[in-house]
Amino acid sequence: MTATPAIIETHQIRIDIGVCTFRRPAVVATLLSLFELEVPAGAKLRIIVADNDAEPSAKDSIDRLREKSPFEIIYIHCPKSNISIARNACLSASDADYLAFIDDDETAPRDWLCELLQTAKETGAEAVLGPVTAVYKPSAPSWMRKGDFHSTAPVWVNGDIVTGYTCNTLLRMTAPSVAGRRFALSLGQSGGEDTHFFSHMHADGGRIAFAEKAILSEPVPDSRASFMWLAKRRFRSGQTHGRLLAERKPGTRRIGQIVTAASKVAFCASSALLSTFSPVRRNRQLLRMALHMGSVSGAFGVREIRQYGTVEAT
């Protein structure tokens, strides 16, 4: 197989970093970590903050941080409690060569962006993903800490990464599979908009690479340190996966997909039963079962459960 030629930059590289936020004070720590970034050679950085709250609740904090920032900061108010609108605002505001995304509860080490960019240049990939390491409180359940159920890393299918996530990624904005692409507004309150984005990008020829050393860290709050939160998230992920597969298998062709997913539900249930006295293995199988149950739901066209904007909706 012919190796993909590395991309050689001959002009100043412009990199934007998109941070979408919604009523999360931790965004201050995120930005402070970005201020300490090592700037890649020949690069110019800019930060774009998209505030998804109905009121511009993050604006004062962002304004105060401008005095400390070595980079230009653009603040955009996107008052719709729809994460896709905030992500799309970052895409629309960016006129750079690359756009990186980091979540508003994550912090970056100094070499984070350099590692992402180096992998992008070496592979020529249109998107690069980095891992996110979960940081648990001592109060988190021991099975959860031992099994590390919240950390994020890509999933390979036959040696290829076919979808991605926005909590740690770098996009080459001029790539045909990326330019003009937007996150689905219909998934902006359920989640799965990133899976949808990257799956379609990959289907249109976009390659996704992995930068193993571009590590971000993310604390796990008490509200997420529960089995039910994990199960709900896995179920929603399965819904998106099942719906995306169903788009390519209309009509009766979906039957095979549904049968396969249902058989995986049964297998995971049996495996969980056999692992009753091993909390990590048991819960891992139960969460896989929730994923496959969501896949069955998605194949039937059931709308994804809502995860974002619920505070405002209530």
Instruction: Find the CATH number of the domain harbouring 203.
Output: 3.90.550.10
Residue 199 lies in a domain: yes
Among 174, 208, 223, residue at a domain's last position: 223
- Residues 6 or more apart from 273 whose CB is under 8 A from it? none
pLDDT score for 313: 33
Task: Give yes or no: residues 85 and 164 share one domain.
Answer: yes
Task: Give yes or no: residues 286 and 205 share one domain.
Answer: no
Task: Give yes or no: residues 42 and 188 share one domain.
Answer: yes
Domain encompassing residue 231: 227-313
pLDDT score for 302: 72
Task: Give yes or no: residues 60 and 206 share one domain.
Answer: yes
**Residue (of 236, 208, 218, 212) closest to 167 by Cα position:** 218
pLDDT score for 242: 85
pLDDT score for 9: 54
Q: How far apart are CA 130 and CA 116, in angstroms?
A: 7
- Ranges of residues in the chain with a pLDDT under 70 are 1-10, 251, 303-314
Other CB atoms within 10 Å distance of the CB of residue 311: 11
Task: Give yes or no: residues 267 and 191 share one domain.
Answer: no
Task: Give yes or no: residues 30 and 101 share one domain.
Answer: yes
pLDDT score for 5: 53
**Residue (of 299, 296, 306) closest to 253 by Cα position:** 299
Q: How far apart are CA 269 and CA 69, in angstroms?
A: 51
Task: Give yes or no: residues 202 and 77 share one domain.
Answer: yes
Which pTM value belongs to this model? 0.88
Task: Give yes or no: residues 200 and 285 share one domain.
Answer: no
pLDDT score for 314: 29
Task: Give yes or no: residues 215 and 242 share one domain.
Answer: no
Among 223, 241, 264, residue at a domain's last position: 223
Task: Give yes or no: residues 216 and 246 share one domain.
Answer: no
Number of helices (H) and strands (E) in the chain: give both, helices first: 10, 11
From residue 117, alpha-carbon distances to 63, 94, 206, 235, 251 in Å are: 28, 17, 16, 33, 43
Task: Give yes or no: residues 292 and 309 share one domain.
Answer: yes
Residue 134 lies in a domain: yes
